[in-house]
Amino acid sequence: MAIDVEALLARVVAEIFDENVSIVLEDAAAKRPQTYCAHLHSAAQDRRAHLCATYEWFELRIPDLDVSVTLFDYDDDDAPKDDALRELGLVARAYLDGEGCIESRRRFLRRGTSQRLTLDVNDRQWQFGKHASSVPYP
């Protein structure tokens, strides 16, 4: 049986986020077929996040810091997909609630700085970077 990724994303977002977070669900676009996204915004903290889902991967992007993290799940069972997307949703909620440590680091061979976000959610540490992330798989 095929997994309805769009319904899975809508259900997880509805369960995790309350009225303090504005949610805009985006249908799959022609540019990215079968990729569904929820654009999340916390007005209280003025933070944004994008939670995206496909059949094979889930991504949490933090456009404020230009960092992201991706979880892969090639299984045909919907329970692990639900768990992975829910875990990313909880991480997004923690960031939108103002949690986390944001570090600015000087780039090695380029000008400027890069951002790194570290969040502790459910006794697991998540580190987001532009080019590298540390992910505790659920």
pLDDT tens by residue, 21-68: 999 988 766 567 789 999 999 989 999 999 999 989 999 999 999 899
Q: Is the pLDDT of residue 133 over 60?
A: yes
Give pLDDT, residue 30.
Answer: 58
Location of structure tokens 């809508």: 10
pTM here is 0.87
Of the pLDDT bands very low, low, confident and very high (cuts 50, 70, 90), residue 85 is very high
